[in-house]
Structure 1
């Protein structure tokens, strides 16, 4: 005997819970299933435990996808302001950090509690702790078997995310299910992830723990934020951002002194000819980094003894220092997954599969990946809203 619902949502994360809330408040009878013991596990660890729940500067062009236009419809119909209204209605205090990032003043638990309270208002059934054993589609819709039970509904929503952070229980289940129903999958890869450097960059590995504000570039994409040297390579917000655009074999360039006017080293030479390059660099950069860069540039002695050509060359290298990562820290350290269920098979308005009636895909499971800083949560809310309004 199956329990009957209007919709079954697989995944009790941000997208799944929000979709359930929207559908339930429209009068739909909704079941949410998750193999984790508790809902919202990724929400709880996000933003250092304070949940960077949206970004007020959200724009469609700040998302990666094989179809860069796909996210526009959902993002336009549920905005950061819409989610912020809900946060404020629940009395959750928040603050804005840099670059439009909004965080809870208190704990990420407040966002999970808010979503569960909203779901409870609509009598959503949230069942955690049992893996989905099978999903079948028949004349009556979708039958899902989980644990010792099964449920049936005309609508099924895939909201199980991607394989990033497997220690949290993340898997590629969404892709297996999508393929089962004939949907294509864009090759998943780690995104917002630290990059690793080969052994010949050993000098920089000695800088583990050193951070500085930079401009990092890969191809035509650039970000101005902090970079952090690690014992394995490069991390920090700027590197996490660029990692989503990086492909194996690509060179990443770092401007260690962004904003300096052209010819600044020659100007320093004229103003202070007896000062060493390391001293000049140390006035703008952490001392250990300044020393490492000066050693790599191999320019010793006083600035006054260095030719203008040598200083121009050093200046150019400092503005575009090349690194060729040999990989990344992988899904284990990736904040999100790039790639996923191909948007070509989905409606951008409803998130429903074009050729499989009643099947929807939302959130990180879909080939839409946002920048660091609340963008992926906003996609979860927006795509969840789109599907919740349709089922």
Structure 2
């Protein structure tokens, strides 16, 4: 930790502290030791055996340098800042707290080490309870390696953006507009900002990344996507539960599903786009027998963590992804989409076999 209270109760940074004086933790109020050596930057530490709910003792040198560097840059450009600000009402402390001239506040967490999604949710929810926005900035330990899609969406904010920082260049990067089809790796847009302009953009909401994902409709892609489904079925990698649902709806095979289940481009899914779109189609088929389905219940089911990766906060964009699929069907005339319910008109028929399905592309 970089901040402590001195013997007069004033906050002081470790590199300005004088050895031999008394220091205490701003969170738990217990005594601290000042450590100034030749290798690691000056910092404070709790005495051995002491447990603090606010501060961790295992922060890396990079973590300490990162938050101190960000604090220096943001202070120089006019932000009001405080390193390691303690929030007693939620028993948390932020790596860095900033406020702009308009009074907008933001907590910054610089994440260099692994953290569970439960812990991430707990800390994010804590900030939200006191009306404070928070962004998680990933350090080099994350972006030096190939990030798994699960990890990316764990840290993505409510607008599906993630943030990384390279200390060597003082560049903050916003990653957004994620797309993922079943035949390629995750794609994204990246924009680099200096820390001062980045925070101004974030606090004022000037960075827009929302992008409606469109299904891929080229014939060559659809054929490859169908072949991919065949391979998944042959290798028994396609969900057995999904195959069972297909049979329960009196269909012979997932391969014969209408073409609209192919070509999905939605990122953040635990399952394939084929699986997700087929599951929604089968649910609409089953619901057509009762006349109409609850729109909210349908959106809740197919935007849930049964299909999408766990997030640090509520995933509104997964809900929008379901709405986009429903609108696709509505524009094609298959359903009538109302504010409270979905009325199924006439869903596309299933081809009798593989060759018949291919013939529909000609």
Question: TM-score by structure 1 length?
Answer: 0.23
Larger Rg: 1 or 2?
2
Question: TM-score by structure 2 length?
Answer: 0.24
Q: Which has the higher strand share?
A: 1
